[in-house]
Structure 1
């Protein structure tokens, strides 16, 4: 299994202190909830250890396993080129990946970082409630992603930036903006929530 680095540099519409909080103690607002002990050597979720802790500047964690396996996440932050109210984030994910796994990890990375950008731009300072629902195993079958788009009434001509109304189960019709759309991922932003759909069809039945 080869080791690889997945690196992205993005500019976020929030100051470094806000972004640092989001990627450490605020992950429930854009990724999933996690607990981080705020010091080098502290716990960073199950099995991971904090390897860098410089508030507003740098955060990293690392997990190690058998046979030389490891997984490391690194967030380097700097003030934006034009204003201290923006952050230039360089994100690096280093790990030992299964053969053929890297393209899928890269797609997920882009979606996660887009969600982070939305969170710090629109919802910073607001308490987040994380909710996740798993689809049945049949969601990996061919055509399932198209059926999700149909259920959300997102026709082929609905583009990123368009305003839409989606009928969310248990909630009802909700006004939203389509902020992300690929063959596998959909991102919607409402006045009070980020709604994310992760399609599994592209990665097959395994």
Structure 2
């Protein structure tokens, strides 16, 4: 059985929606498994499809519902925040790599930012909604995270690959200061859905048959 504690939604680009759900799964032995789930509803024709569905198990706790009388149960005035300063505010996963634009907000992981820019074509900051034509991806080190204060220092029309001390990904207009992270994000952007590919092939085949 699942219990939903919170469900928050935030508008994204082109009528897309980012959804964050928190709750717990209750097993037969009354162990409550806390979780967070984040996914993106991306518009497609007259419906939506779910993209980047991230389910994260947070921890277990023994349920006291059957063993503690209701009169002695205490309900906290404030529920604990599921994401900390070291967690991505979108997927609630631990921040290892961050991506940010000229606004300087470093609270979203590079994977979520790349997904939003690539799939939803949403180039806005998740916090302040400022549009960022160019972003910078670096390792998350808290107060010691590398800061780019002047994004105009980046070239306007850089080639794909190494550009000075950085690596540039043209599909998301992102500069990386780590080669391995650049390669991983570039490979992720090349992934495609087999179902969508088959549908596109069927559509292309129908068009070719219609031309004869």
> Normalised by the size of structure 2, how large is the TM-score?
0.28
More contact order relative to length (CA 8 Å, sep ≥ 6): 1
Q: Rg: which structure is higher?
A: 2
